[in-house]
Amino acid sequence: MMARRTEACVFCEIVAGRARASFVHEDESVVAFMDIRPVNPGHLLVVPRQHLESLSELGEELGSRLFNVARDLQSAIRASGIRCEGINLFVADGEVAGQEVYHAHLHVVPRFAGDSFRVTADWPSPRPREELETVAAKVRNVAVVAGASDDGGGGRAPVTGLGLADDEVRIEPYDYSWPDHFAEICALIRPAAPDARIEHVGSTSIPGCSAKPLIDMSVALSPGTSLDTEAASACGLVFRAVNPEATLFAFYCPLGRRLANVHVRYRGSSSELWDLLFRDFMREHPKDVVAYGELKCQAVVAGDRTAYSRAKAPFIESISPRIHKWASESGWAPPADD
Ligand SMILES: [Zn+2]
């Protein structure tokens, strides 16, 4: 296996001055030196001083620094008289990608016509848009929650599938990543209500249901307890409104997109039980799920936001007798505590 320990790391040895290298740049966080096996003359490596194995471990600042030093050095190579008709920047991250030294580094490779550098692939013909969108959604959905858990630092832009701006109404087809997002946000807000029953509710909790890409969460406190508001705001919860039975908070990602509505109420209250019962009924009744999804899509197409809210109420009213009948026949009960 490759060296994974600091003591055995050749780049750490170079950074510490215990191994030789031909340096072209040094600052407090990054160094650059010639690759000992250059693809072309001028091939150099930009390396963080700190021993970090992979791209994922580089923070925002160090990642930018690495790239910007590489950018300056490629200008220097072009101006130096070294043969250089083009430049490749190259990172090998992971063994299958060709990483040989497990200390993150960025290759700067001068290129010229007829040189020996190759990165080959069997390039396919352009793929259907639907396929590209499906793959893009997977990446976006992870990127959003990663941004949310980032301590507000750096202003990383979440490119998003999940989340809505405050004045936005948008319906999306059911996304299998929604339950995962619920679990992630649940873990982030748990410190504000350690003993609460936290459940995924609303349309995103119902498989197959088209929905606003916004996670509804029911946070049910034990009677006699209250939400620690300081802890809540430390977890990123923003107060929105008090309703008779529930207090609404929102959970935002750093750039202001709302990812979740957090309904805080008491355990066993009718608002909690209704949300759980509605979810469980819908999960057992796929035809109702389709009808409900279609109705929401039509309301959004119709345009205004009040039309959207107005459209949902009659539907829920019309099926609520069936929901209560189903509850008593099936002996429905809210989920047991862990
Ligand atoms: Zn190292």
- Is the domain of 76 the same as that of 219? no
Domain assignment present for 120: no
- Is the domain of 155 the same as that of 237? yes
Domain assignment present for 311: yes
pLDDT of residue 152: 39
104 C-alpha vs ligand 1 centroid, how far in Å? 8
Provide the number of structural domains found in the chain.
Answer: 2
Mean pLDDT across 119-124 = 87
Answer whether 203's CB lies under 8 Å from 211's CB: yes
Domain assignment present for 122: no
Domain assignment present for 71: yes
- pLDDT digits 0-9 by tens, 64-102: 999 999 999 999 999 999 999 999 999 999 999 999 999
Which of the residues are catalytic?
Answer: 105
Nearest by Cα to 177 from 153, 152, 143, 147: 143
Cβ burial, residue 274 (10 Å; 0-12/13-18/19+): middle
82 C-alpha vs ligand 1 centroid, how far in Å? 29
Strands 197-201 and 86-90: unpaired
What residues flank ion ligand 1 with Cβ within 5 A?
9, 11-12, 51, 103
99 C-alpha vs ligand 1 centroid, how far in Å? 13
- Is the domain of 92 the same as that of 138? no
Domain assignment present for 237: yes
Q: What is the pTM of this model?
A: 0.56
118 C-alpha vs ligand 1 centroid, how far in Å? 27
86 C-alpha vs ligand 1 centroid, how far in Å? 29
DSSP 158: P
Domain assignment present for 261: yes
What would the two tokens of residue 219 be?
């946070």
For residue 15, give the CATH number of its domain.
3.30.428.10
Domain span at residue 162 reads 130-330
- Is the domain of 203 the same as that of 285? yes
- Is the domain of 48 the same as that of 167? no
- pLDDT digits 0-9 by tens, 155-206: 333 334 788 877 777 888 898 889 989 998 999 899 999 999 999 999 999 9
Specify the 3-state DSSP secondary structure of 128.
coil
Domain assignment present for 335: no
- Is the domain of 102 the same as that of 146? no
Answer whether 24's CB lies under 8 Å from 34's CB: yes
Domain assignment present for 314: yes
